[in-house]
Structure 1
């Protein structure tokens, strides 16, 4: 008996031709590729800003460092080669102030980084408690961060002013019954850098405190409960629970403080120009570059100073990064 196929059924050959003519769907990107694409799109604004405000100016500074460029000069910039760099390290009139400024920068960073990081950690531990009005205390310690550095420098100029006009000298005069109250804290070379360090730590410690406080609040409370069951002391809890729990945050804070400490300029410039601060004892590389560019009108030499300083800071940051790398990084 014959089987009759339906009239609407297509032959196998025609079905294959129709299926081959149908356009194939493009392959969907994998999850890893999508995440990578999303990451690139989200980081594009930050990368664009970094290139626009750091990469391009630095490249322009590198170009200017090879030319003799002076502000207000009617002469065209002349190619100078590496003469600015050679004079920066061989000419006593130029190398002396530059090396002194670099030494002041290193001294400032060597004191501020451990002091400010340690003080920020102590404040974060102190404020990481469930107390009444704890938010008020946190705001009080964070308040100096929102003050502009220019305002902070003016405030501390009033505190550290020479003679009885300064608030610190007035207090010392009362405490010592008039025997000690006329010291020049800003003008004396022995205390000028210390004054800059104190006001810088006072202004910036609140920012590091907030970062470390956020890290402390991420540590599970069960770890402290387990350590209490093991009869661990406060110091043992700090060493074996707190420090390992915030190691990555602590490394980040130390590196951020290091970068910011090398950028010290505002307070030095304001206090030297209007507060009687000792210039040789507190001159920094940024101050040297700005005064070379706008006081001496030598843009080429100032560009060479900034390029050398940038390379030194990058090298020190890389070394610090490798020495204090967190455990969760390869």
Structure 2
């Protein structure tokens, strides 16, 4: 009588044998991640890290453009003068205050306007793509062209478009105000032209966030008889919260970099220099008008650290509810 012999069960792989496979997989993932991020990392190193490091080195020297003498090492003297010298520190703090004023006006205004335009254009209407392109069109204009256009609009003479319109509406009683030269309206003029030029970019980002919200959420809100405002408050805003934070942070960083429009309008449009002087404008004029590369580099390094701290604080506050 024969007896059947059952095959012995295959032993399960031990944890020690599976560990090398997991480690090889993780190593392979790290290699793939490094290869995919290599172009971006190379760009950051080449265009951010290296220039910033070179600026730090120059800030420790007394260097002038076109001078036959080599840069002289002065240590932290440039920083001391920027922060303690009455004249230099006063100019720097005044420029920094102008930067903060500009940012406090542009960030909420541009973000709110971009959100309103995104909600308005997030509809399935005929030729809606044309309207989106029209609102995005100012973004593709270079800032130099935008500054020239608004210089024509805000010109002091009656030939300025805004003054000419006011002259017609007031029957000749008002229409020669110096919008760019007056300290009361100079910064407001820069804010308006900056918002006009940049709002389309933020609008596109927010529009993409709105289109990513599932339609089922709005259908459920309609079944609950929620009004348009309630849908916006309880469905739209939570759905684009992360996108909105990103747009606010991006707008903040870009607003601190304001330079082109100020420089062009000061040099060719009669813009009030004292009322609109920013830190980047101060650094550029120090480097090329005063021929002091070391001090200009120190200004940019200090300003970079200030913007970095403000950005981290803003990011922490904006994400405080998720912490």
TM normalised by structure 2 equals 0.91
Distance 1:326-1:92 versus aligned 2 partners, 3 A rule: closer
Aligned pair 1:34/2:28, yes or no? yes
User: Out of 47, 56, 59, which is 1:65 matched to?
Assistant: 59
CA distance in 2, matches of 1:36, 1:325: 28
Alignment pair present for 1:199 and 2:193: yes
Q: Deviations over 1:152-178 (max 9, x none)?
A: 000000000012021000000000000
Aligned to 2:166: 172
Residue 128 in 1 paired to residue 122 in 2?
Answer: yes
Who is 1:189 aligned against?
Answer: 183
Equivalent residue number for residue 17 of structure 1: none
In structure 1, stretches of 5+ residues that fail to align are: 1-25
Identify the range of structure 1 (141-150 vs 78-87) with the bigger mean alpha-carbon deviation.
78-87
Q: How many angstroms apart in 1 are the aligned matches of 2:237 and 2:211?
A: 13
CA distance in 2 between partners of 1:285 and 1:122 (Å): 31
Q: Deviations over 1:167-216 (max 9, x none)?
A: 00000000000011000000000000000000000000000000000000
Question: Per the alignment, in what secondary structure is the counterpart of residue 276 of structure 1?
Answer: coil
Please provide the CA RMSD for this pair.
1.4
Alpha-carbon offset, residue 75 of structure 1: 2.1
Larger radius of gyration: 1
Match of 2:105 in 1: 111
Matches within 5 A, 1:87-98: 87-98=81-92
The residue number in structure 2 matching 1:100 is 94
Cα distance in 2 for residues equivalent to 1:28 and 1:227: 46
> Deviations 1:121-156 (Å, cap 9, x if unpaired)?
000000000111000000000000000000000000
Q: Deviations over 1:228-272 (max 9, x none)?
A: 010111111111100000000000000000010011000000000
1:27 Cα deviation after fit: 5.2
Q: Does 2:138 align with 1:144? A: yes
Instruction: Determine if contact 1:192/1:277 at 8 Å carries over to the other structure.
Output: yes
Q: Structure 1 stretch 290-299 or stretch 318-327: which is displaced more?
A: 318-327
The residue matched to 2:180 in structure 1 has which SS? coil
Match of 1:222 in 2: 216
Question: Does residue 260 in structure 1 map to residue 254 in structure 2?
Answer: yes
Report the Cα offset of residue 76 of structure 1.
2.2
Question: How far apart in 1 are the matches of 2:83 and 2:115?
Answer: 40
Q: Which runs of 5+ in 2 are unaligned?
A: 1-19
Partner SS, residue 55 of structure 2: helix
**How many residue pairs align between the two structures?**
304
1:288 and 2:282 matched:
yes
Map 1:288-327; keep pairs closer than 5 Å. 288-325=282-319
Does 1:82 find its partner at 2:79? Answer: no
In the alignment, the residues of structure 1 paired with residue 49 and residue 65 of structure 2 have an alpha-carbon distance, to the nearest angstrom, of: 23
- Distance of 1:38 and 1:199 partners within structure 2: 44
C-alpha distance in 2 between matches for 1:36 and 1:216: 33
